[in-house]
Amino acid sequence: MIIQRVTQNRLYDASDMQRRFSPTVSSPPDARDAFEKDYGRIIHSAAFRRLQAKTQVLGQNAGDVHRTRLTHSMEVAQIARGIAIYLNTNHPLFREDFALDGSLLEAAGLAHDIGHPPFGHRGEQAFHECMQHFGGFEANAQTFRILTRLEGENEQGLDLTRGLLLSVMKYPILLDQAINPRQYELEMIPPKSSIYTCDEEVFQWVLAPFTDREKAFLTDVKLHPRKHAQTINKTLECSIIELADDIAYGTHDVEDAINLGFIRISQLKELLNDFADVSLYPKLAKARDDLDHLQEHDLDKYRLKKIISALISTFIYGLTVVENEGSLQSPRCKYRVVLVPELRKLLNQLREIVAEYVINSHKVQTVNWRGSFILKRLFEAIMNETRLLPEKDRLKMTPEIHDEQRARIICDYLSGMTDSFALRMYERLFGHSRNFFDY
């Protein structure tokens, strides 16, 4: 991490640095600011380390060098810092005393996926099915819950700053408020939400400094008769994290897919050839030319890496800042970062080929289905026999708690597992391995 120092940064105020439980002022000899402390708390947390053994797009059995949820998060953090550097240097809104904080964005990038369960999005859907009568499950909401309650001691989470929490609240709405009952019954797909209803108190603390108009702006939703409610807005920094996440997904995951044979070089070449304005983006033009030198049967991975790097740079250089409508005072609400339309279209196309040729492939779908099946069996087993929980979680199962709390404790435990730990536990409970008593 590069420590960023600005004499006085008017983009942030005292409320952005505030924590729920501990003071924000550093005591000598600790010279770190509040956001740099957030960074340290995240990288030293067990929940962050567990991401190294959680599926990003491809499971661990696909190979040794493709992205995991941990390396994806590190790349999102690096891209987010790169966006901050680019905008602080090139956009007229920002200057030395009104600048995006790179440490805040890097920390948020590391934390943004910390609530993802084992086995990727199929794992998320499996838990949502298990929790359909107990408050639901959504990975973004689980991220908020881990950061504010589960990680650390005394249900205080990592006690991060308000600025950090705002930067990872991609969908600032309670899950119960986002659910469309019709959609819920048809497909069991969780709505996009960053907060469970049981964590509403913390959510209200995060929003406390905003005006009523700004709170309404952040929690505004788009309704649809056949879809879950969709949030419309997010904070300035969260818009950057979302873009960094999309860029990583549309570039690094494409790189993995090419290296593992899911996507052909010719498919990437076709996308870039169809891009109408390539002449406006020199790095993109060079990347397209370099693709002509790549061979499917003898892949030059170093050259492919340079092409992917050129794509990332092009997307960063295509970002701009727009001002939201309405009487919004806080810079958190007043501005958002967007990608110019033609590059947004290209990025969406890159993400779509990952979805079509990787996520929806027979190989990945069968592995993910197995993971989903395992998680549902484990949830069912522990609901029927809570002695299968570790002691610290079993002690929470007091007689006075209701069924929703009981299910949430079990879901918190299972969703925190790595892919491999969930497989081992399933094998101990239901398998026929000779290593029956292994831990």
For the stretch 204-253, pLDDT in tens is 999 999 999 999 999 999 988 888 889 999 999 999 999 999 999 999 98
Task: Report yes or no on 47 lying in a domain.
Answer: no
CB-based contact 157:148 (threshold 8 Å): yes
* Half-sphere exposure of residue 258: CA atoms within 13 angstroms, side-chain side: 28
Task: Report yes or no on 318 lying in a domain.
Answer: yes
293 is in which domain, residue-wise? 239-359
Task: Indicate the Cα dihedral angle 132, 136, 137, 141, nearest 10°.
Answer: 170
Q: Please state, in angstroms and rounded to a whole number, the distance separating the CA atoms of residues 365 and 202.
A: 36
Task: Report yes or no on 372 lying in a domain.
Answer: no
Average pLDDT, the chain: 89
Task: Report yes or no on 122 lying in a domain.
Answer: no
Task: Report yes or no on 34 lying in a domain.
Answer: no
Task: Report yes or no on 298 lying in a domain.
Answer: yes
Instruction: Identify which of 291, 257, 303 has the alpha carbon closest to the alpha carbon of residue 67.
Output: 257
Task: Report yes or no on 107 lying in a domain.
Answer: no
Task: Report yes or no on 310 lying in a domain.
Answer: yes
Asked if residue 61 has pLDDT above 90, the reply is: no
Confidence at residue 201, expressed as pLDDT on a 0 to 100 scale: 96
Instruction: Identify which of 253, 48, 291, 12 has the alpha carbon closest to the alpha carbon of residue 150.
Output: 48
Confidence at residue 64, expressed as pLDDT on a 0 to 100 scale: 55
Q: How many structural domains compose the chain?
A: 1
Confidence at residue 224, expressed as pLDDT on a 0 to 100 scale: 84
Residue 287 — very low, low, confident or very high, per pLDDT cuts 50/70/90? confident
Residues 173, 174, 180, 184, CA torsion sign: positive
DSSP string, 165-179: HHHH-SS-SBHHHH-
- Residue 230 φ then ψ, to 5°: -120, 130
Asked if residue 6 has pLDDT above 50, the reply is: no
Cβ neighbour number for residue 264 with a 10 Å cutoff = 14
Asked if residue 439 has pLDDT above 50, the reply is: no
